[in-house]
C-alpha cells in the first residue's frame, strides 16, 4: 500500500481517495481556501472583504465610465448572488457610488469614489506582496505552467452543460 499523500496527511484522511481526480480536486479546494485566507488576512485590517476588494478593483479598471451592476457581477472572481448587497455595503462605506443610467433607467451604473481608489492604492503593495508569498513554493519558471493548467481546468468546466456533473454521478451509480 502506498504511503499517504501530502493532502491525505493534511486533512487526516486514512482511506485512499477514490481516484487521482478526486485527490486533485480536494487538493485544489484546500489550496484555494488557504490562498483565500492568506489574502483575506491582508485586506481585512482595512475593513473590507475579498469580494469587496474585487469590486473595487473591477471599478478602478473601468475608470470614469463606471460599469453596470450586472457587468460587475460577471467579472467577479468568485460569483456572488448578492451583488446588490455587496454594493450596498461599499456605498455605505463611501467607497463606491451608484446612479441610474440616463439612457436606460433600468440600468444602474457603479463608480469608484476617491475614497475607494485611495484604499486600493494603499492595498496595492501589500496585495502584491501577498501574491508573491502565496506562490513562494513554486519556482518562477513553473508559475506560467501552473496558470496554464488552471486555464485548462476552467475551459474544461466551461464546456460542460450545467447538469452534467449530476448526470455523470447518476451514470456511475448505475454501473
pLDDT in tens, 39-81: 999 999 999 999 999 999 999 999 998 999 999 999 999 887 7
**Cβ–Cβ < 8 Å for 50, 43:** yes
Instruction: Specify if 85 maps to a domain.
Output: yes
C-alpha closest to that of 131 among 28, 35, 29, 48: 35
Instruction: Indicate the number of domains in the chain.
Output: 2
Strand partners, 67: 110
Instruction: Specify if 8 maps to a domain.
Output: no
CA–CA distances in Å: residue 82 to residues 64, 72, 152, 163: 24, 12, 28, 23
C-alpha cell at 14: 486514512
Which pLDDT score, from 0 to 100, does residue 170 have? Answer: 57
pLDDT bucket at 104, cuts 50 / 70 / 90? confident
CATH number at residue 133: 1.10.10.10
- Whether pLDDT at 134 is above 70: yes
pTM over 0.95: no
Q: What angle do CA 79, 137, 46 make, to 5 degrees?
A: 50
What H or E segment, with its residue span, contains residue 116?
A: helix 114-134
- Whether pLDDT at 163 is above 80: no
Instruction: Specify if 35 maps to a domain.
Output: yes
- Whether pLDDT at 102 is above 90: no
Average pLDDT over residues 80-92: 92
Which pLDDT score, from 0 to 100, does residue 115 have? Answer: 97
Phi, psi of 103 (to 5 degrees): -85, -25
**Domain extent for 157:** 140-175
Which pLDDT score, from 0 to 100, does residue 165 have? Answer: 58
Q: Tell me: do 42 and 79 sit in the same domain.
A: yes
- Whether pLDDT at 173 is above 80: no
Average pLDDT over residues 91-101: 93
Amino acid at each position: 500500500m502506498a504511503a499517504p499523500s501530502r493532502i491525505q496527511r493534511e486533512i487526516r484522511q486514512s482511506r485512499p481517495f477514490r481516484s487521482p481526480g478526486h485527490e486533485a480536486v480536494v487538493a485544489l479546494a484546500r489550496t484555494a481556501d488557504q490562498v483565500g485566507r492568506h489574502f483575506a488576512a491582508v485586506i481585512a485590517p482595512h475593513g473590507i472583504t475579498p469580494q469587496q476588494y474585487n469590486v473595487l478593483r473591477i471599478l478602478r479598471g473601468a475608470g470614469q465610465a463606471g460599469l453596470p451592476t450586472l457587468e460587475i457581477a460577471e467579472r467577479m472572481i468568485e460569483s456572488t448572488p448578492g451583488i446588490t448587497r455587496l454594493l450596498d455595503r461599499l456605498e455605505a462605506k463611501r467607497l463606491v457610488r451608484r446612479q441610474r443610467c440616463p439612457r436606460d433607467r433600468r440600468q444602474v451604473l457603479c463608480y469608484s469614489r476617491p475614497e475607494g481608489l485611495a484604499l486600493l492604492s494603499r492595498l496595492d503593495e501589500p496585495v502584491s506582496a501577498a501574491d508573491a508569498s502565496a506562490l513562494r513554493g513554486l519556482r518562477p519558471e513553473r508559475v506560467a505552467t501552473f496558470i496554464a493548467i488552471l486555464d485548462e481546468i476552467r475551459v474544461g468546466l466551461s464546456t460542460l452543460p450545467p447538469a452534467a456533473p449530476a448526470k455523470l454521478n447518476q451514470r456511475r451509480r448505475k454501473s
